């Protein structure tokens, strides 16, 4: 089904999903993509790196992401890309009883949440370079599924739009925002999240150190950048 406009939901578990191409401006050949997912209510965001954008690899990434989200996933919404609109993801959504929709072609505002997260959670982290080696895939996965997802969801506050209005004379939109909170704080504040899930996240949060996470993020970023300036293989800890 085609979803028109914004998702008007208040329950967590509704994910906008997208892929980000890391081809450095050259779409030829095989290169790495980021599968990115964000909860439209809570802002909880999960990126994962895959080589190419094959249908099975995309479904595997979405399943991996869903297992790390600390509450049930209820719905998926993507654009019309072939990595999403196929029988593999359709069967996955049907098996897990997920509402699966897609946005209109050429209407980026239909997926405004994930488009914004593509910029702040992917492009600002790894840039616009071409990544196409197994070594780079390993580094990106360690970065995404390790310190970055923890730092982003537990320590980076965001504001969400609570009201939209339009100036009739200028035609410009005006937005009202809520107080800045991290996705973790939004999970803790939401009445629809189970007490068990909240307690598990509290225990995880108590053992996290943002300085250590930032150090790990910078280390992996530097390791990734070295692969762009050197033809030598990069040693990655297993």
pLDDT tens digits, 180-189: 999 999 999 9
pLDDT tens digits, 28-83: 999 999 999 999 999 999 999 999 999 999 999 999 999 999 999 999 999 989 99
Q: Report whether pLDDT(2) > 90.
A: no
Give the closest residue to 117 by CA, choosing from 65, 57, 80, 74: 65
- Alpha-carbon dihedral sign for residues 207, 211, 217, 223: negative
Cβ atoms of residues 35 and 62 within 8 Å: yes
When computed from its CA atoms, the radius of gyration of the chain, rounded to whole angstroms, is: 18
Q: What phi, psi does 121 have (nearest 5°)?
A: -105, -10
DSSP state of 169: T
**Average pLDDT of the residues in 195-219:** 97
pLDDT range class, residue 230, cuts 50, 70, 90: low
**pTM (global) more than 0.85:** yes
């Amino acid at each position: 089904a085609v979803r028109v406009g914004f998702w008007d939901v208040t329950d967590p578990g509704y994910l906008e999903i997208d892929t980000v191409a890391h081809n450095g401006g050259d779409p030829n050949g095989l290169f790495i993509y980021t599968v990115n997912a964000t909860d439209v209510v809570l802002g909880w965001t999960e990126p994962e790196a895959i080589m190419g954008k094959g249908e099975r690899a995309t479904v595997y990434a979405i399943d991996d992401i869903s297992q790390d989200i600390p509450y049930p996933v209820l719905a998926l919404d993507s654009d019309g890309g072939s990595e999403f609109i196929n029988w593999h993801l359709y069967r996955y959504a049907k098996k897990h009883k997920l509402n699966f929709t897609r946005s209109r072609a050429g209407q980026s505002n239909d997926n405004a949440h994930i488009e914004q997260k593509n910029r702040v959670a992917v492009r600002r982290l790894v840039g616009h370079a071409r990544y196409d080696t197994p070594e780079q895939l390993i580094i990106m996965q360690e970065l995404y599924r390790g310190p970055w997802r923890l730092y982003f969801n537990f320590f980076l506050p965001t504001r969400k739009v609570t009201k939209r209005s339009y100036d009739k004379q200028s035609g410009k939109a005006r937005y009202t925002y809520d107080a800045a909170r991290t996705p973790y704080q939004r999970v803790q504040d939401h009445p629809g999240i189970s007490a068990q899930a909240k307690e598990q996240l509290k225990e995880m949060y108590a053992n996290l150190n943002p300085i250590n996470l930032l150090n790990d993020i910078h280390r992996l970023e530097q390791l990734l950048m070295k692969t762009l300036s050197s033809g030598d293989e990069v040693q990655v800890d297993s």
